[in-house]
């Protein structure tokens, strides 16, 4: 039996939820945006009425206001969006147990064996749309294909432009449907890849598909081969529940509320990031042997900053140990220019229950591990701000601010 895969995508998800909460906004140009007085003042979601004025996701709020003077601006409520996303997952699971969240507003479904109960793929898609609208007040688009890449392309480029919001992309019809589209519409082609392909005369997905796969493998390796496969609608990855298991790294980053120009201020937020990274590592019972630090300069015109990594003498999930090596990377590679964004990651993860002790420092390792686990228990019971490093109380500290947020936005 041929597979039937859906990608269910919510239309203007954040904006739709805000309209459901405040019916008086229905039919008006509305955007969900971060604080306009901070760096987070960008459009997270725009209603269809706002989009008619040319407002786009990810553009700066002031640019959107120039396009539409009557724009209604609401702050994000991330906890509400997460709860609705979970509710939508529950709706989809009434049709199949094979539901894979792809993002907060996109989910894959394998309905291959659901057709005997619920009808044809098109009928199931209509029922899914109706259930989500009735229970959540959100309109959904459904892309249908025999694999995940076809379902994704069907949703992104055809269902969103279809009045019904449903489209099935068939592998045998790609020449007429997908291949005439510009190459940048292919999943996996970003702005830099677009330039590379344009330089080689590849302007459409069809031209990419007509090029021999050996060219892409030789030039871009596995990524090049995957692009070629995407153009041909080939994808062997199943819809599964364990997509996010077995992660290869744990990281956190933040855009700073203002440009940090002193090493002391940067150290403050780096320690907070190390705390968050190591807390997640301990929760997942892993530790890592490679630490990486990313720093972005304050200027948008002249790109400065760096991304460097370092392999530590032994694997760890202790905050102060990680912090020590992060500071070494900062000392070695920071150019002294103001910083607007920082990120810390721990990789080369391994089982955290089996610890390789350092011959000369094993007692300190055990003390750090016990301290971290004790802090985790207190925070789990009393909240993230129940225990804070003293440095987080300094003006540069962001721990209390971040504790009030989900995904960088207020709950």
Q: Which of 18, 49, 106, 276 is catalytic?
A: 106
Q: In terms of pLDDT, which residue wins out, 35 or 52?
A: 52
Eight-class DSSP state of 112: G
Say how far apart CA 115 and CA 335 lie, in whole Å: 60
DSSP string spanning 227-257?
HHHHHTT---PPP-TTTTSS-SEEEEEEEEE
Look at residue 361 in the predicted model and tell me its pLDDT. Answer: 58
The residues that bridge with 311 in the sheet, in sequence order, are 290
Once rounded to an integer, what is the mean pLDDT over residues 67-93?
A: 92
* 163-167, 175-179, 313-317: least confidently modelled range: 313-317
Look at residue 79 in the predicted model and tell me its pLDDT. Answer: 84
Say how far apart CA 58 and CA 62 lie, in whole Å: 12
Answer yes or no: is pLDDT of 353 > 70: no
199 is annotated as contributing to ligand binding: no
Answer yes or no: is pLDDT of 362 > 60: no
CATH number of 249-410: 3.30.1490.100
The residues that bridge with 346 in the sheet, in sequence order, are 250, 291
Once rounded to an integer, what is the mean pLDDT over residues 348-362?
A: 66
9 is annotated as contributing to ligand binding: yes
Say how far apart CA 329 and CA 315 lie, in whole Å: 17
Helix, strand, coil proportions of the chain in percent (round to 5)?
A: 45, 25, 35
Sign, Cα dihedral of 327, 333, 335, 338: negative
Look at residue 220 in the predicted model and tell me its pLDDT. Answer: 92
Say how far apart CA 411 and CA 140 lie, in whole Å: 24
pLDDT band of 363, cuts 50, 70, 90: low
3-class state of residue 102 by DSSP: strand
| CA angle in degrees (0–180, nearest 5) for 366-263-386 | 50
What percent of the chain is modeled with pLDDT above 70? 91
CATH number of 13-77: 3.40.1170.60
Once rounded to an integer, what is the mean pLDDT over residues 74-93?
A: 92
Look at residue 385 in the predicted model and tell me its pLDDT. Answer: 85
Look at residue 291 in the predicted model and tell me its pLDDT. Answer: 94
pLDDT band of 58, cuts 50, 70, 90: confident
pLDDT tens-digit profile of 266-317? Answer: 999 999 999 999 999 998 889 899 999 999 987 766 678 899 999 998 889 9
Answer yes or no: is pLDDT of 407 > 80: no
**Domain residue extents for the chain:** 13-77, 175-231, 249-410
Is 184 assigned a catalytic role? no
Q: In terms of pLDDT, which residue wins out, 282 or 359?
A: 282
Look at residue 89 in the predicted model and tell me its pLDDT. Answer: 95
In CATH terms, 175-231 corresponds, of 1.10.150.20, 3.30.365.10, 1.10.10.10, 3.30.70.360, to 1.10.150.20
How does 110-129 read in b/e, with b if 16+ C-beta sit within 10 Å? bbbebeeebeebeebbbebb
Residue 102 contacts residue 85 (beta carbons within 8 Å):
no
Answer yes or no: is pLDDT of 40 > 60: no
Look at residue 406 in the predicted model and tell me its pLDDT. Answer: 66
Residue 318 contacts residue 365 (beta carbons within 8 Å):
yes
Answer yes or no: is pLDDT of 226 > 90: yes
Look at residue 399 in the predicted model and tell me its pLDDT. Answer: 86
Residues near 90 by beta carbon (within 8 Å), at least 6 away in sequence: none
């Amino acid at each position: 039996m041929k597979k039937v895969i859906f990608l269910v995508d919510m239309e203007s998800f954040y904006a739709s939820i805000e309209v459901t909460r405040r019916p008086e906004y229905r039919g008006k140009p509305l955007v969900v945006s971060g604080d306009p007085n901070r760096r987070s003042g960008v459009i997270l979601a725009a209603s269809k009425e706002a989009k008619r004025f040319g407002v786009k996701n990810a553009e700066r709020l002031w640019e959107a206001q120039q396009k539409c003077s009557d724009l209604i601006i609401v702050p994000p409520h991330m906890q509400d969006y997460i709860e609705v996303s979970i509710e939508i997952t529950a709706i989809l699971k009434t049709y199949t147990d094979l539901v894979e969240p792809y993002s907060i507003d996109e989910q894959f479904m394998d309905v291959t064996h659901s057709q005997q109960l619920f009808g044809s793929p098109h009928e199931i898609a209509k029922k899914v749309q109706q259930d989500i609208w009735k229970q959540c007040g959100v309109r959904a688009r459904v892309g249908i294909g025999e694999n995940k890449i076809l379902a994704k392309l069907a949703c992104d480029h055809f269902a969103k432009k279809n009045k019904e919001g449903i489209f099935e992309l068939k592998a045998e019809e790609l020449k007429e449907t997908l291949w005439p589209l510009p190459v940048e519409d292919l999943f996996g082609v970003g702005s830099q890849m677009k330039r590379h392909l344009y330089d080689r005369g590849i302007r459409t997905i069809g031209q990419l598909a007509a090029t021999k796969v050996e060219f892409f493998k030789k030039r871009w390796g596995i990524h090049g081969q995957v692009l070629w496969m995407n153009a041909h609608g080939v994808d062997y990855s199943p819809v599964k529940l364990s997509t996010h298991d077995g992660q290869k790294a744990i990281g956190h980053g933040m855009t700073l509320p203002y440009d940090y120009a002193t090493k002391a201020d940067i150290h403050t937020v780096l320690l907070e990031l190390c705390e968050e990274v190591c807390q997640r590592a301990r929760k997942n019972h892993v530790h890592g042997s490679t630490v990486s630090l990313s720093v972005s300069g304050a200027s948008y015109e002249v790109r400065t900053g760096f991304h460097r990594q370092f392999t530590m003498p032994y694997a760890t999930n202790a905050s102060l140990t990680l912090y020590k090596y992060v500071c070494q990377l900062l000392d070695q590679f920071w150019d002294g220019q103001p910083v607007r964004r920082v990120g810390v990651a721990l990789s080369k993860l391994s089982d955290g229950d089996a610890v390789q002790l350092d011959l000369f420092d094993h007692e300190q390792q055990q003390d750090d591990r016990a301290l971290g686990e004790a802090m985790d228990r207190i925070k789990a019971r009393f909240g993230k701000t129940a225990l804070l490093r003293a440095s987080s109380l300094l003006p540069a500290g962001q721990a209390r601010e971040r504790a009030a947020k989900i995904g960088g936005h207020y709950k």
